[in-house]
Amino acid sequence: MPLTPVITAHWDDPHSYTLDSYRRHGGYTALAQALKTDPDEVIATVKESGLRGRGGAGFPTGLKWSFVPQNDGRPHYLVVNGDESEPGACKDIPIMLANPHALIEGIVITCWAIRASHAFIYIRGEVPMPIRRMQKSVAEARAAGYLGKNILGSGLDLEIVVHGGAGAYICGEETALLDSLEGRRGQPRLKPPFPAVAGLYASPTVVNNVETISSVPYIIKNGVSWYREMGTEKSPGFKVWAVSGHVTRPGIYEAPLGITMGELLDYAGGIRDGRDVKFWLPGGSSVPMLTADHLDTPMTYEAIVDAGSMLGTGTPMLFDETTSVVKAITRWLEFYRHESCGKCTPCREGTYWITGTLEKFQEGRGSQDEIEDLVEICNQIMGRSFCALGDAAATPYAPSLALFRSEWEAALTQPADEAFDPAATMIIPSMSGVGA
């Protein structure tokens, strides 16, 4: 399947991020078009396109917008999720750096559709560059009349606030994000009510991912049938894939949903030094690992589920045979333990227990009983946690055991760093100066 640059098509323009460059390539024409269309029709178009959320869950975007009650006399809000903190996810920040106006145009169109006059871009606090770039771009857009009062004579008033977070993975979860944006601890809320009914300031709110909203202008401009020429019936369209790990040319590759990992890997020059892939994760650390057996699986929401994983953020991480599974899984669980917000017991206590046990295996001090106990503890967390972070933490271990049991058994006595030389896993020289 060929690559299909859309969002990324003009990133090689030295000033791709400026309003000038964006307009030179047809930017903001979709907005003019949308503002002449009835908002309900815009929602219908996005529904027909089949665009699905790129933040991890793949929820149909048009459907989400249609849940916002209309003529309810209350303010509506759009909150763009730019928290991008899932290990492995690294596509939203590049989009904001290279093509900020696609996001802004998408925001204005979305706000027209859901009848919102206030939008927020919540960007994780640990990355200043997209914060300053989005802020500058918002100012440019306002000066050009794409934001502010009565945009292009449509009657739409809209302000965008760029908001920096302060370090907390859980704030990527949409309801935690809303609490955080209200100036509170970022802890998930009970659902229902869903944000579309009672979100920011208890008003109807749409929360969408950066890539989701950045896709909207291209769909409006080029049409549903164009969009559906790419991808499959259930997973239509283009996708910004961020390929990382032991690959020859890691980077951003834009291609339709339905491309295989094997094809993407070919474009990325294969695994480094002609080695083989040992395991890979289609979209973040919260999805089950797959192996070389799945390199021909189409990367669609449905086919990846059939293969036993999830598409997640669509940012595959690949690891070659030099990598210790025990060490990789332990490190991810240390992340979940650190990021558990502490609101519910299964996740707070469970991540603590699992991680402690995994750390013993990593040091070569595991026990046979614990190999099975861990599966049980993960099952206890799965589905019993207040939010999906708990499920995510309970996900990685069992598939790794199913695929690499012998490695876990070796870890009863052998430390991971003995079984797998850390220097061999590295892609940089292991000593300062030597060959650097």
Partner 1 sequence: MPLTDQTAAECRDLAARYPDGRSALLPMLHVVQSEEGMINSAAIEMCADVLGLTTAEVTAVATFYTMYRQKSPGGTHHIGVCTNTLCGLLGGDAVFAALSERLDVGSGETTPDGKFTLERIECQAACTHAPVMTVDWEYFDCTTIADAIRTIEALAADEMVVATRGPAVRGWRATERTVAGIDDGLADEARCVDAIMLAGLEVAKEKGMTAPDPGKGA
Q: Which of positions 72-91 make contact with ligand FMN (CB under 6 A)? A: 81, 83-86
What are the distances in angstroms from CA 124 to CA 84, 96, 180?
7, 12, 11
Output the CA–CA distances (angstroms, integers) from residue 79 to 50, 117, 185, 195, in the order listed: 21, 11, 17, 10
Under the binding rule (CB under 8 A), the answer on residue 73 touching partner 1 is: no
429 lies in the binding site for partner 1 (CB under 8 A): yes
Q: Is 341 in the site for ligand SF4 (CB under 6 A)?
A: yes
Euclidean distance between CA atoms 183 and 53, whole angstroms: 26
Residue list 172-191, contact with ligand SF4 (CB under 6 A): 188
Q: Is 426 in the site for partner 1 (CB under 8 A)?
A: yes
| DSSP tally for the chain: helices H, then strands E | 19, 8
The item of partner 1, ligand FMN, ligand SF4, none sharing an interface with residue 343, based on CB under 5 to 8 Å by kind, is: ligand SF4
Q: Contact between 167 and ligand SF4 (CB under 6 A)?
A: no
Q: Min. distance of Cβ 411 from partner 1 in angstroms?
A: 16
Among 184, 191, 275, 405, binds partner 1 (CB under 8 A): 184
Q: Do 385 and 344 contact (CB within 8 A), yes or no?
A: yes
Selection from partner 1, ligand FMN, ligand SF4, none that 385 binds (CB < 5 to 8 A by kind) is ligand SF4
Smallest separation (angstroms) from ligand SF4 to the CB of 124: 16
Let me know: does 192 contact 175? Beta carbons within 8 Å.
no
CA distance readout (Å), 279 to 17, 25, 71, 265: 35, 39, 51, 13
CB of residue 266 to ligand FMN, shortest distance in Å: 28
Query: Which residues sit opposite 153 in a β-bridge?
Result: none
Q: How far is CA 111 from CA 3, 59, 134, 266, 379, in A?
A: 31, 19, 17, 39, 41
Binding ligand SF4 (rule: CB under 6 A), the pick from 115, 136, 348, 360 is 348
Task: Say whether residue 214 binds partner 1 (CB under 8 A).
Answer: no
If you write DSSP's letter for every residue of 399-430 in order, what string do you get?
A: HHHHHHHHHHHHTTTS-HHHHS-HHHH-SS-S
Q: Is 46 in the site for ligand FMN (CB under 6 A)?
A: no
Provide the binding-site residues for ligand FMN, judged by CB under 6 A: 53-57, 59, 81, 83-86, 169-170, 172-174, 207-209, 212, 387-389
